[in-house]
Structure 1
Amino acid sequence: MIKRIIRVLIVIIFILGILAWFFVRNNKPIYSGKLDLEKLRDSVSVYFDEVGVPHIYANNTADAYLALGYLHAQDRLWQMELMRRIGPGRLSEIFGKDMIQTDKLFRGMGIELAAKKSLAKIDTNSISFQYARAYLDGVNQFITHGKTPIEFRLLGIEKETYTILDIYNVFGYMSFGFAQAYKTDPLLTDLHEKLGSLYLRDLDVNNDPRTTLIKNYTNGIEKRSAGAISKQINELTMNLPIPPFVGSNSWVIGSKKTKEKGVILANDPHIEFSQPSVWYQAHIKSPDYEMYGFHLALTPFPLLAHNRDFAYGLTMFQNDDLNFYYESGDFLERKEIIKVKGEDDVEFIVKTGKKGPIMNNLFKGLDSTKSISMDWIYTKSNNDLLDVTYLMSHAKSLSEFKSGVSKIHAPGLNVMYGDKNNNIAWFAAAKLFRFSEEIDTKFILDPAYSNSEINLLGFDQNPQAINPPWNYVYSANNQPEEIENGYYPGYYLPEDRAKRIVQLLSDKNDFSKSDVEKMILDNTSSVVPGLVRTVLGNLTKVNFSENENKALEILKNWDGSYTQKSIAPSIYNLFLYHFASLTFKDEMGDDYFQMFLNTHLFKRQIAKQIKNLNSIWWDDISTKEYKENRDEIFTNAFHKTIQQLEKEYGDNLEEWTWDQSLSVTHKHAFDKVAVLRPFFNVGPFKTDGGNEVLNNQIFYLNDIGKYQVKAGPSTRRIIDFSDIENSSTIIPTGQSGNIFSKHYKDQAEKYHAGEFVKMKLNEAEIKQAKDVLILYPKKD
């Protein structure tokens, strides 16, 4: 009897295995064979390289974009679906009631309303519109005829065709990710109300000209609980299924500083890690166009790209393009209805004031007696990003490229450029404006300022550099030098990465591609060793334990490098938390302190605070009879650090290595479902790097000393015009978002090992590919 049961079980397992094999086989992307597509004018050949990048050879460019849309969808339709839903506030339809507050925020901001206004003015005869429509034709044909992604099946989602409006909503969400004012202005307003101006005077609220600056070169009130906005923006962005942009590095080295006398461009945009990873790569070649590009979901034209003639990359400008106002009076109203999976529809009213949408009913906990409106240049101006991305990717010269970049109004971008003719350039691209001097836009503004004159600046007044005599340009989200009207306000990151880039670039004049690959993986802080010396020189070293003395020696000899087997980063980062907690939490309180930790303002404040001998923040206001000083804060934070590390890792200090503290997992939207997590997530991995080094592995400080990387390089790209066919890149996981694809995570190990893959341009090499797909015009 038992033997019979075992035999039956074996047969059942075998049958289930066969069924599973057929299921997986039938749901993989199609990388070889033949397909018929409607609206193709001629056949298109697609060669998939070793990491799944499609090299699309077409007899006309419109066919190439149609093919791109189909291929992009078969690898990333799930990602496209998420991206198309965030901006218009439609996540609750598929994820249920947990996303209602997120949908309310995005509905209230009016991203889709702004998109519709822009589309009403679009030239449907323009070549950019025609190519975008061809791309969408390809996407929609996959929706109609291709396999349904497993995520759709698990959630019970019906597929919908895509329109140009969806592309514009993606641009809107991307722009939202750049708007740091959400996290900073309401927080500062509440801190000012709570603590007064003396405390804020010690914070690095405004621009600091004493740090490393990007060099220009041209050839010519009552308490209002406003901090609820900051708190909820933090919470919402941490739970979004699609990650926002958070930073980036880029530099372009002129031919006079390279070994082979060709321009080299490096770029690694910093974006929250996710699975699938952000960028989809594709190489298009037609008789009149060639480009190797990196595409966001639902974007036909690449935001990062190169060909044999020129290359470009992006970082975040971090300019201030969003402001809040107190408003009163009558408001316009509109009703919004959110469809919620498994629940009744949710109806709510969005009010709009003179400056923009009213935030009060979009966030919980805002005082209802004073209305706060949002004035965001993205939703107030016409959106030309479709034309911008087309013009950048189809430019024939530096001047054409600059003309395209000049049309960017929001989000603010640092656009980096290099070409085969040895031109290099950096453009801070955004529609910049000036308030009168008495207005500080880092706080919620008084109604009296709502009528203040705003002076728009011309693009030539923006920070920029074209072929500067020092022979390189760079951006690390740091503050630019002053322009004609002074320093431009923004939410810039500290000088750490910028200073390191300048250190590495300034003294060397024979850079090779391999040198730049090492540089983009650099793990050494240019700032931290000096800060550590200040701390160590001001500790009260009385009755230190054996481990405390050992830790002092390790920090004393630390060069600021974040490698996996280093011990110093584990000590330093936990010290930073306790130093910040002892300094700020007593005045701010728990909630405001946690919000503060997650802002760019805090990152800038670290160096300033450590060097500030007489800061008002040193005193612990809970000890009424005693006034603490900087040395006591340093010493107490150091004691707490060592005690916690001993608790977490044991008494053997040699085991407190950075790889025990830091890890990274690339999380799928199904991460919260425990049974699905192992199948869809990629990781965990150990990694080199840390906050504000070039290999920027971004994490939030905490009191435990164990950190999950939230964000980092979304791709690493090195474009070398002296050897353009061997330019290199890597992305964090893989080219495909289809869990059954062999390219779902085939770059993950290489990425975390600091390796690269080739971005192929050589036609003969490309056509040796094992996976070849031929697309034919579908016959009637």
Structure 2
Amino acid sequence: MFRRPLTTAAALLLTLSLLGGGLLYWVLKRAEPPYSGEVRVPGLDAPVTVRFGPHAVPSIQADSTHDLLFAQGYLVAGERMWQMDLMRRLADGRLAEVFGPDALDADRLFRTLGLNTAARRALAELEAPQRALLSAYADGVNAYRARAAHRLPIEYLLAGFAPTPWRPEDSLLIGAYMAFTQTFNLKEELTYLRLAQRLGRERARELFPTDEGVPAPAVPPELPDRPLGTPGGSAAAANPAALAALLDAPARFGLPVPGAASNAWAVTGVRTADGRALLANDPHLPPAMPGTWYELELIGPDLHVAGLALPGVPLVLIGHNADLAWGLTSAITDTQDLFLERPTADGEHVERAGGPPEPISTRVQRIEVKDAPAVELALRRTSRGTILNDLLAHPPGMEPGSLPAVASRDLLALSQVTDPPDRSLAALAGLARARTLPAAHGAGWDFRAVAQNLILAHRDGGIAWQVTGLLPHRAKGAGTFPAPGWVAGYGWDGLVPPRQNPTLSDPPGAALITANNRTIPLDYPVNLSHSWLAPYRAQRIAERLATAPALDAAAMAAIQTDRTSIQARLTQQALRRIEPELRAADPAAWDIAERDLLSWDCVMDGSSRAAALYALLEPALWQAIYGDELGEDLAPLMSLAYLSYNSLQETLRTGESGFWDDVGTPAVESPAQIWGRALRAAAADLAAARPDPRDQRLDRLRTLTFPHAFHGLPLLGRLFDVGPIGVGGAADTLDVMKSSPQDPGRGLVIPSMRVVQVPADWGQTRGTLPLGQSGHRLSPYRTDQLDDWLAGRGHPWPWNGPPAQETKGVLMLRPAGQ
């Protein structure tokens, strides 16, 4: 009785589905850019030739710098407009305009940080040639925007808005945001503040070692001991729990968050097969869809570079010209300081030593919110910096590992290096045209807002290193821990002239290595940081270079995929030190160690069961050693583990800790007993996570997802994300795969690209991206590099265009009147 109507309905639904699917496919594909043919583009002065090689990597050739940068803006926007748009909106604090109240947290954060103000100031201070580069690029982006007005990427259709005109300052906004992702100390200082309330100043200090065998610097003695501040009774009391979630807000839109890592090393001809220099670089950043970089070659009358650009920013950030190559890693410098400020009774001033109270300045910004009333944000400042209390008074949804409230009457003021106008675009232009190592050094000093290790390799065989960026000069204190604003001498006493930053050319060992490790001696006159990452990746690079025969590009690339963990070696050494005690105290735990860890080669391969157990042992050790005393405050401390050298790493190295005893029991526990707890907990966690022994391997336990802006949305997230993908590697391996000890199953920081540059023959330079060039959902170039990236393979970077046999298409961009 019902068969015929059901059949008819099914046929109708199938027809509608096919029509809907066909329409959706058409909408998705029509947004993709062409890779061949001719396009008339208003704004060009003369024709521009674009030759696309493998993976849709363009070589852009123009008769003028204006047309060259115009074409770069046009082409990158054609692949990455959605990503560029979100990045500038994020940095400008304008996401709520299009996403509504869910984006208010991010807007409050970036309005408070003032990246938009810094970008406008930088634009005003640039010389005319640099402003012309930005204008040409913006004109190219807007030319694409006009052409694509009726065939925008599907994200715009789903989100219900269209891109607004691109402004020259938008490129500087993106640069300012990426510089912000390379600053880390604020979260450490707030974590210390909370732990000092629980443990007291000096005991909390033990949890913040600087490097192997190097304790944290002294805590300002003027800070009161436990508890800091006076609980309750103050509207200014801050909730630092909000900060951890706020700093993660960009991830909700598929955008990078602060995260420290990167490898780079250069060698001279003394170590190479052909007697010429080589340079390897793999910056580490959070995964995202689309990826961080866009690969291209620019060929103009006075400019020829190849490399990787940030979408939305002209020129290339990492790459080479005809004479020299350059790479970057985070220098982990401390360019953020947190000051405690004591407000007066009226709340309008703060105390100052030896003088009258200082008034608090206030300005109000208006945040437009889609489908909701606009929000006014009061931004308060003292001479010590921006007051964070108002920002932190609006906590978003709390994440595991967020900080509990710091009960204090004090205001929290953040000083950061954003006041001097940045000149990073001038630095990029200078590097692009530099012909000698000294000229490249001179260009590098123009990187003001971002502190990086700049590694250089010249075609004549020379190599060099320098630390870029402006650093604060502290008359008093080290900057590691919060400082009292009411005590004289703790404010910044100006900035260190960039040319006093460390630099080195042609090192005696014929190699330069930077992997976020401490790169200066303890007595260096300029204070770069007291929060380096562990030296393990740098040590492993040195091991590989020391044992390698004459190096070539393939050997350098092989080092980039090394998965040997020096921290795992330290773990094995720690177990062997306590073998008799552990055998006696906990035979079952010793059996786990002996059977599963001590004969392991410490390689974090995805197929390894021992690697999976080791990945779970780290959080188990955190809990066993520190959980009894830190309680809910253990989580924020663990969240710092992949940002800097930590107390667990120092304990693995030395066996020493003031936290071995479990204060919750009447007995005094030995290190062997605590190790036994951790080993049994890790084994139980592995069995619970993967009951089938065949699945007890690292790449079944840890996965990597490249999140899209729609990641958090049901169904859409799965359609637009890439992954999950089972992966190997660890935080301290050269083939890095960072995860938090709180969530060891999720990859958080990855190699955002890999490249080995060959100055003697640029055609031999090879690199790869994690995904691909395109951000379009159905593009064949969206993830076409993923398999190579996972396998550690690279493809040639173009130089003078792709070879004729590898040219995938030629696109002519012509002025509108031709």
TM-score w.r.t. structure 1 length?
Answer: 0.93
Does residue 350 of structure 1 match 2:391? no
Structure 2 counterpart of 1:202, from 200, 206, 220: 206
> Which residue is 1:93 aligned to?
97
> Which residue is 1:757 aligned to?
795
Aligned-partner SS, 1:158: coil
Aligned-partner SS, 1:333: strand
Letter of the structure 1 residue corresponding to residue 632 of structure 2: D
- Give the direction of change, closer, same or farther, for the CA distance of 1:616–1:736 in structure 2 (3 Å limit): same
Does residue 682 of structure 1 match 2:682? no
1 CA distance for matches of 2:715 and 2:114? Answer: 36
2 CA distance for matches of 1:339 and 1:683? Answer: 34
TM-score w.r.t. structure 2 length?
Answer: 0.88
Does residue 566 of structure 1 match 2:608? yes
Structure 1 counterpart of 2:254, from 238, 241, 255: 241
Does residue 182 of structure 1 match 2:186? yes
Cα distance per residue 1:671-696 (max 9 Å; x no partner) = 11121123211122222311110001
Moved more, 340-349 or 708-717: 340-349
- Give the direction of change, closer, same or farther, for the CA distance of 1:142–1:353 in structure 2 (3 Å limit): same
- Give the direction of change, closer, same or farther, for the CA distance of 1:235–1:626 in structure 2 (3 Å limit): farther
The equivalences for 1:396-407 within 5 A come to 396-407=435-446
2 CA distance for matches of 1:10 and 1:201? Answer: 66
CA contact (8 A) 1:204 1:608 kept: no
Does residue 604 of structure 1 match 2:646? yes
Does residue 427 of structure 1 match 2:429? no
The equivalences for 1:295-310 within 5 A come to 295-310=309-324
Aligned-partner SS, 1:325: strand
Aligned-partner SS, 2:799: coil
> Which residue is 1:538 aligned to?
578
CA contact (8 A) 1:270 1:711 kept: yes
Structure 2 counterpart of 1:251, from 240, 257, 265: 265
2 CA distance for matches of 1:477 and 1:285? Answer: 33
Aligned-partner SS, 1:708: coil
Does residue 335 of structure 1 match 2:392? no
Aligned-partner SS, 2:385: coil
2 CA distance for matches of 1:157 and 1:226? Answer: 34
Moved more, 487-496 or 136-145: 487-496
2 CA distance for matches of 1:638 and 1:454? Answer: 49
Aligned-partner SS, 1:707: coil
2 CA distance for matches of 1:6 and 1:96? Answer: 38
1:442: how far off? 2.5
2 CA distance for matches of 1:79 and 1:238? Answer: 13
> Which residue is 1:626 aligned to?
667
> Which residue is 2:228 aligned to?
223
- Give the direction of change, closer, same or farther, for the CA distance of 1:252–1:614 in structure 2 (3 Å limit): closer
Letter of the structure 2 residue corresponding to residue 246 of structure 1: A
> Which residue is 2:677 aligned to?
636
> Which residue is 1:218 aligned to?
none
Does residue 65 of structure 1 match 2:102? no
CA contact (8 A) 2:76 2:294 kept: yes
- Give the direction of change, closer, same or farther, for the CA distance of 1:602–1:260 in structure 2 (3 Å limit): closer
CA contact (8 A) 2:642 2:738 kept: no
CA contact (8 A) 1:426 1:474 kept: no
Structure 1 counterpart of 2:36, from 29, 32, 40: 32
1:755: how far off? 1.9
The equivalences for 1:726-745 within 5 A come to 726-745=764-783
> Which residue is 1:417 aligned to?
456
- Give the direction of change, closer, same or farther, for the CA distance of 1:223–1:544 in structure 2 (3 Å limit): closer
Letter of the structure 2 residue corresponding to residue 392 of structure 1: L
Moved more, 263-272 or 434-443: 434-443
> Which residue is 2:618 aligned to?
576
1 CA distance for matches of 2:167 and 2:492? Answer: 38
Aligned-partner SS, 1:677: helix
1 CA distance for matches of 2:433 and 2:159? Answer: 39
2 CA distance for matches of 1:672 and 1:310? Answer: 43
The equivalences for 1:11-160 within 5 A come to 11-123=15-127, 125-126=128-129, 128-146=130-148, 147-160=151-164
CA contact (8 A) 2:97 2:368 kept: yes
> Which residue is 2:704 aligned to?
664
The equivalences for 1:342-741 within 5 A come to 342-364=371-393, 365=405, 369-377=409-417, 379-436=418-475, 438-449=477-488, 452=491, 454=493, 456-482=495-521, 484-485=524-525, 488-508=528-548, 510-538=550-578, 540-542=582-584, 549=591, 551-600=593-642, 603-623=645-665, 625-650=666-691, 652=693, 655-702=695-742, 707-741=745-779
CA contact (8 A) 1:355 1:450 kept: no
Structure 2 residue ranges without an equivalent (≥5): 216-223, 230-237, 344-348, 350-358, 394-404
Letter of the structure 2 residue corresponding to residue 597 of structure 1: S
Letter of the structure 2 residue corresponding to residue 464 of structure 1: T
- Give the direction of change, closer, same or farther, for the CA distance of 1:485–1:745 in structure 2 (3 Å limit): same
CA contact (8 A) 2:565 2:602 kept: yes
Aligned-partner SS, 2:646: helix
1 CA distance for matches of 2:83 and 2:489? Answer: 39
2 CA distance for matches of 1:617 and 1:9? Answer: 65
CA contact (8 A) 1:189 1:444 kept: no
1:11: how far off? 4.9
Determine what percentage of the aligned residue pairs are the same residue.
25
- Give the direction of change, closer, same or farther, for the CA distance of 1:41–1:656 in structure 2 (3 Å limit): same
CA contact (8 A) 1:548 1:642 kept: no
Aligned-partner SS, 1:357: strand
- Give the direction of change, closer, same or farther, for the CA distance of 1:729–1:449 in structure 2 (3 Å limit): farther
CA contact (8 A) 1:325 1:450 kept: no
> Which residue is 2:275 aligned to?
261
1 CA distance for matches of 2:526 and 2:73? Answer: 44
1 CA distance for matches of 2:767 and 2:481? Answer: 38
CA contact (8 A) 1:578 1:640 kept: yes
Letter of the structure 2 residue corresponding to residue 771 of structure 1: G
Letter of the structure 1 residue corresponding to residue 75 of structure 2: L
Aligned-partner SS, 1:621: coil
> Which residue is 1:323 aligned to?
337
2 CA distance for matches of 1:351 and 1:375? Answer: 13
Structure 1 counterpart of 2:167, from 163, 167, 170: 163
Letter of the structure 1 residue corresponding to residue 143 of structure 2: Q
Aligned-partner SS, 2:55: coil
CA contact (8 A) 1:278 1:714 kept: yes
CA contact (8 A) 2:589 2:679 kept: no
Aligned-partner SS, 2:377: strand
- Give the direction of change, closer, same or farther, for the CA distance of 1:557–1:722 in structure 2 (3 Å limit): farther
2 CA distance for matches of 1:332 and 1:609? Answer: 45
1 CA distance for matches of 2:667 and 2:58? Answer: 68
2 CA distance for matches of 1:717 and 1:723? Answer: 14
Structure 1 residue ranges without an equivalent (≥5): 212-220
1 CA distance for matches of 2:213 and 2:673? Answer: 30
Letter of the structure 2 residue corresponding to residue 318 of structure 1: I
2 CA distance for matches of 1:736 and 1:708? Answer: 25
2 CA distance for matches of 1:745 and 1:554? Answer: 36
Structure 2 counterpart of 1:288, from 293, 302, 316: 302
> Which residue is 1:214 aligned to?
none
Cα distance per residue 1:105-124 (max 9 Å; x no partner) = 1111111122222333333x
1:669: how far off? 0.9
